[in-house]
A and B are shown apart, each in its own frame.
Chain A
Amino acid sequence: MNNISSYPWYRVAGAIGCAAVFITGCATNLPPPTEQLAVTKSALDNAVSAGGNEFAAVEMRAAQEKLERANQAVAKEDYLTARRLAEEAQADARLAEKKADSAKAQKAAVAMQDDIRVLREEINRKTK
């Protein structure tokens, strides 16, 4: 076998180019998404305490299931899938939390309107 310097320059360049395409284009050696998983877990906890299970059951289930699958992907060292699932689970959890907050706020608004209506009726009754 000859030394690498004996190959023409374009051959070397071609080989390097090929390797570069594989490495950058299809990125296989990402780090595990530890931080993202922690953020997602925290978002999920927040959603639970906001009442997500009651007000946004679909989003909650999706978030929990994706977080589980993300953890499984981490175990298989498929970090890209793990990151994506964790990101999606975070979005689902935040949506669940917001849905719960929004539902509670709307309930409160309706209750308040009812209060005012009752108060008005009482006043009208008293004046009569």
Chain B
Amino acid sequence: MKNHRLIPITLIAAAVLAGCSSLPASNSLLDQARSDYNTAQANPQVATLAAGELKQASESLDKANNALSKGEKSDTVDHLAYVAKQQTAIAQETAKQKAAELAVANANAERDKVRLAARTQEADVAQRSAEVSQREAEKSQRQAVAERQVANAALVDAQSARQQTQDAEARSRDLEAQLKDLQAKKTDRGMLITLGDVLFDTNHAQLKSGGLRNLQKLGDFLKRYPQRTVMIEGFTDSTGGNIRNMELSDQRAASVRTAMLDMGIASERITSRGYGESYPVADNKTSAGRQLNRRVEIIISDDGGKIAPR
């Protein structure tokens, strides 16, 4: 009867052992899954960026561990370990994906910053070049103004020079006209005006009123050209005594000089001298020649006031 009691207990033990196989000490796939999981867990990126996925892997790994410790069949443990291993890999990939997405987001921000910096720089460059252009424009404008001023000044100079030339020409023409009016002749010593014997009565040194009128023109000329001086020279014909002729010619020249002084010409500008019957200009044998020799000659100096001596 004792033996009968043991039969069911023996059957139960046999069923457990045969039906669910023997207890394996370890499982290589589970070892692999544990190792993978530990690696993932140690990675802070996975722990923070794929926390949910890592938790799932952890739960699967627990199941596999439990199965192993309960002594379940190796294909059960293998299956659970495989799922745990794949879920660990999923956690790893998720973390990589999220990290890359973060990098893209950061890079977007960085790119925006770089673009902004580029635009700022472009704007700065454009402004600087605009300023440079402006300065150059101002500079060239100033140069243009200066050049125009120089050109104007040159024009004014040219006009003034032309004016001076014209003035000088006008003065020269005027002088020529005056000298022509005085019937002056050009000689080596200067312009020569010859006054005939009509100025004086015979043997007298007193100017006649008609002669005085003639001298008025000379006075006007000297007033107009104050830098010029005159030399008044008196001459007679050969009639009469030599000494008397010298005296007469000297007195006549002095008379002319006095008349000029009376007109307001400064005394230092006028010199006078008599030469008597010397330096005849015509033959004293004829009356016409003698008339020509009775004369007063007035030499007008150049602009320097100099007169070459006879």
Does chain B have a CB within 8 A of A98?
yes
Compute how far the CA of A88 lies from the CA of B75 in the bound complex, rounded to whole angstroms.
13
Q: Which residues of A contact B79 (CB under 8 A)?
A: 84, 87-88
CB <8 Å contact, B97 and A109: no
9 A-B pairs besides A21-B19, A113-B107 with CB distance below 8 A are A21-B12, A21-B16, A25-B15, A98-B93, A105-B100, A105-B104, A109-B100, A119-B115, A120-B114
Compute how far the CA of A18 lies from the CA of B75 in the bound complex, rounded to whole angstroms.
24
Does chain B have a CB within 8 A of A123?
yes
Chain A, 1-57, CB within 8 A of any chain B CB: 10-11, 13-15, 17-18, 21-22, 25-26
Q: Which residues of A contact B96 (CB under 8 A)?
A: 102, 105-106
Compute how far the CA of A33 lies from the CA of B19 in the bound complex, rounded to whole angstroms.
23
User: What's the nearest-Cβ distance from chain A to residue B68, in Å?
Assistant: 16
CB <8 Å contact, A94 and B15: no
User: What's the nearest-Cβ distance from chain B to residue A116, in Å?
Assistant: 5
Known: A87-B79, A91-B87, A120-B114. A25 touches B97 (CB 8 A): no
Chain B, interface size: which category? 35 or more
Does chain A have a CB within 8 A of B121?
yes
Does chain A have a CB within 8 A of B83?
yes
Does chain A have a CB within 8 A of B67?
no
Compute how far the CA of A13 lies from the CA of B7 in the bound complex, rounded to whole angstroms.
12
* Residue of B90, B98, B117, B125 most packed against chain A (CB within 10 A): B90
Instruction: Enumerate chain B interface residues (CB-CB to A < 8 A).
Output: 4-5, 7-9, 11-12, 15-16, 19-20, 75, 79, 82-83, 86-87, 89-90, 93-94, 96-98, 100-101, 103-104, 107-108, 110-111, 114-115, 117-118, 121-122, 125
Known: A120-B114, A123-B121. A102 touches B94 (CB 8 A): yes
User: What's the nearest-Cβ distance from chain A to residue B164, in Å?
Assistant: 61
Instruction: Identify which of A92, A105, A120 contacts B97 (C-beta below 8 A).
Output: A105
CB <8 Å contact, A108 and B104: yes
User: What per-residue 1/0 map shows which CB atoms of A93-113 lie under 8 Å from chain B?
Assistant: 011001101100110110011
Does chain B have a CB within 8 A of A76?
no
Q: Which residues of B contact A126 (CB under 8 A)?
A: 118, 121-122, 125
CB <8 Å contact, A101 and B111: no
Compute how far the CA of A76 lies from the CA of B115 in the bound complex, rounded to whole angstroms.
64
Known: A22-B15, A25-B15, A25-B16. A95 touches B93 (CB 8 A): yes
User: What's the nearest-Cβ distance from chain B to residue A65, in Å?
Assistant: 14
User: What's the nearest-Cβ distance from chain A to residue B296, in Å?
Assistant: 97
User: What's the nearest-Cβ distance from chain A to residue B110, in Å?
Assistant: 6
Compute how far the CA of A26 lies from the CA of B4 in the bound complex, rounded to whole angstroms.
27
CB <8 Å contact, B82 and A112: no
CB <8 Å contact, B90 and A10: no
CB <8 Å contact, A17 and B8: yes
Q: Which residues of B contact A98 (CB under 8 A)?
A: 89-90, 93-94, 97
Compute how far the CA of A63 lies from the CA of B181 in the bound complex, rounded to whole angstroms.
138
Nearest-CB residue, chain A, relative to B73: A26
Known: A21-B15, A25-B16, A26-B19. A119 touches B86 (CB 8 A): no
CB <8 Å contact, A91 and B90: yes
User: What's the nearest-Cβ distance from chain B to residue A84, in Å?
Assistant: 5
Nearest-CB residue, chain A, relative to B85: A91
Known: A17-B8, A105-B100, A109-B100. A127 touches B111 (CB 8 A): no
